[in-house]
Amino acid sequence: MSVFNFGAGPAMLPIPVRDRVKEEWLNWRGLGTSVAEIGHRTEIFRQAMVKIENDLRELLAIPNNYKVLFLQGGGQGQFALVPMNLLGKNPAADYLIYGLWSEKAYQEAERYGAIKAINLCNDTPPFTLLSQAAWQPNNKAAYLHYCSNETVDGIKLNYIPQSQAPLAVDMSSDILSEPIDINRYGIIYACAQKNAGITGITIVIIREDLLEQAMPLTPSVFNYKKQAIEHSLYNTVPTFPCYIAGLVFEWMKAEGGLTAIASRNQEKAARLYNVIDSMSDFYFNKVAKPYRSIMNVTFFLKNIALEKEFIVGAEAAGLMYLQGHRTRGGFRASIYNAMPEEGINRLIEFMREFAKRKR
């Protein structure tokens, strides 16, 4: 029986990527050794990194005036590195907050500058977000930061904020899930382990004019400009996670690119939300429909006493890691790019059968 990983991250890899890793593990490119054993400054690995970056640029249509970096430290590492790299000339920044990750980013950034918090979300369900007209940005700030998709509650900001300050966005959970206009952002960052591979690297896409704003205390290995000059090889890049990311990018291109992937993602999410809404006497979601996440579908049982039984039954059916975040309870189905239709079908079938038995 196939097992489907609905965890928020690390997430499942596309099956073709897993198969290729298995095939190449002991003999990458005919070298008779694993890519994990190849020096990061060898010519063959440098060439691999060039292709990895070029494939990402093609998928996201990244303009030439943006640099692409592959760094360490995860998404949370960027909570410190974004202010370190952008507040060197102007200490002010706006932070939009509507979930756990944007709150954590704000708390970290407070250590480095004059940070203004703008709360967008109400405290009780159904959760909604303030429109652009309901808040005012500081147009003279060094940047405006937000998280495009909050995984914990399954909420997505359904508009791109308007500000004269550059936009800095955490896209850790929805990068590469749909086409985006890179030109609207100053900096985008995302950990890899949801839609771009495995843990170990963080993707940073930054407009070139923002590379001159680092604070003097910024560590050299985390200085965006220094890493850009060295093409992410200022220090030892995590070679194996980069290799995996490259395979994932190739898979995305073979699948038809982000337009095709976005269409499938919308369909997967719509089917799950339809099941939840159609059985509202048994399941429910706490997010108002315009703000529901496409990547992270959260839901709850009317009878919370059945939660443990639901999880046990789901795992027996090969549906893994459906537990909600430890601070929220309930359930969360993370359905990133690699989640196939078969996984959605099996989850829907299980939810319907469970409700039928327990109503």
Q: Which residues are catalytic?
A: 101, 170, 194
Which residues are within 8 A (CB) of 185 and not within 5 positions of it... i.e. 6 or more apart?
166, 167, 168, 169, 205, 207
> Cis peptide leading into 216, omega within 30 of 0?
no
Strand partners, 146: 169
Helix (H, G, I), strand (E, B) or coil at 301: strand
Q: Roughly what angle, to the nearest 10 degrees, separates helices 257-278 and 239-254?
A: 80
CA pair distance 130, 122, nearest whole angstrom: 8
The neighbouring-strand residues paired with 93 are: 115, 143
Cα separation of 305 and 303, whole Å? 5
Q: Which residue has 């337009």 as its token pair?
A: 259
* Distance in angstroms (rounded) separating the CA atoms of residues 312 and 232: 44
* Burial of 8 (C-beta count, 10 Å sphere; 0-12/13-18/19+): buried
**DSSP assignment of 29-47:** GGSSS-GGGS-TTSHHHHH
Rg of the chain taking only CA atoms, in angstroms: 21
Q: Which residues pair with 4 in a beta bridge?
A: 319
- Going from the C-alpha of 108 to that of each of 32, 35, 101, 124, the distances in angstroms are 45, 35, 11, 25
